[in-house]
Amino acid sequence: MGKNKLQKFQENTTFLNLFQPSPESLREADFCLKGLWRSQYFNNANPIVLELGCGKGEYTVGLSKLFPRKNFVGIDIKGARLWRGAKTATEEHLPNVGFVRTRIEQIPALFAPNEVDEIWITFPDPQPRPAKAQKRLTSSRFLNLYAQLLKPNGLIHLKTDCQPLWEYTREVALQNGLKLNVCTSNLYATVPPDEPILGIRTFYERQFLAQGLPITYLNFCLSHKGPFAEPAV
C-alpha cells in the first residue's frame, strides 16, 4: 500500500462528513443514523439522494451544489477515492453532503424504509458476463435492496457509457412494469446543452467523451416494492 493511501486513510478519520462503519457492526445492528439522517445529520427535512459507487464523489458534490435543498450521501467501499469527495465537501463547507464507506449490499442497515428519495448510479462496473448479471447495480437483486429504503415512486438514475448495461437496465424496468421517465442512448445528443446536470462529469466520463463514446442515461420510478424479476431471456 502506497504512502499516499495511508495518509488519505488517516485523514479520512478526521472528516465529520465521512462515516466508516465496520462490516461486522452493520451485520450486528443498524447504523446509528438509520431513520435519523434528516434530523441528526442534515438538520433539515429535505429529500435524501444517494450516489452508489460514488468513487471520488464528483456527482455527490456536483449535485449538492446544483440542488442545495436536497441532501446527498455518496457510498463507496474505496476509502482512498472517498477521501477526495469528503475533502472537497469539507473545504467548500457543503452542509448537504455526507459519505459512507461500505458495500452497497449493506445499505438497508443505513437507511430506514421510505427515507431515501432518489438513487444515482454513475458509470458502475457493467459486469458484462451473463453469469454475473446479479452483480449489476441495476439487477433485480439490487432493486429489491433499494425498495427497502426508497419512498414510493422513488427515482433511480443510471448514467453509463456501456450500451449493453443500459439495454439490460431498460429491460429490467420494462419486465417489472416500472415507468421509464427518460431513456436515451446518447445523452448529449438529446438533452439541451444548457441542462445544468450535464455540467457534472466524472473522471471516467471525461475519458469516454474524449474517445467519442456516447453516454447513455435513463431514470425510472420504483413504483412498487417488488419482488423484482430478471428480464425474460
pLDDT tops 80 at residue 70? yes
Question: Backbone phi, then psi, for 216, in 5-degree steps?
Answer: -95, 155
Residue 4 vs residues 13, 41, 82: alpha-carbon distances, Å: 15, 30, 14
In a domain, 200, yes or no: yes
User: End-to-end CA distance of the chain, in Å?
Assistant: 43
Q: Residue 163, Cα to own-chain centre: how many angstroms?
A: 19
In a domain, 44, yes or no: yes
Annotated catalytic residue, options 30, 76, 125, 161: 125
What is the predicted pLDDT for the residue at 58?
94
In a domain, 30, yes or no: yes
In a domain, 232, yes or no: no
58 exposure class (CB count in 10 Å sphere: 0-12, 13-18, 19+): buried
In a domain, 116, yes or no: yes
Question: pLDDT per residue over 187-232, tens digit each?
Answer: 988 888 778 777 788 888 888 889 988 999 999 999 999 899 998 7
Is 30 annotated as catalytic?
A: no
Q: Express the helix, strand and coil content of the chain in percent, nearest 5 each.
A: 40, 20, 40
What is the predicted pLDDT for the residue at 203?
82
pTM of the predicted structure, to 2 decimals: 0.95
How many folded domains does the chain comprise?
Answer: 1
Range of the domain at 188: 3-222
In a domain, 230, yes or no: no
Question: For position 169, which CATH number holds?
Answer: 3.40.50.150
pLDDT tops 80 at residue 71? yes
Residue 116 — pLDDT band, cuts 50, 70, 90?
very high
Mean pLDDT of 157-182: 96
In a domain, 144, yes or no: yes
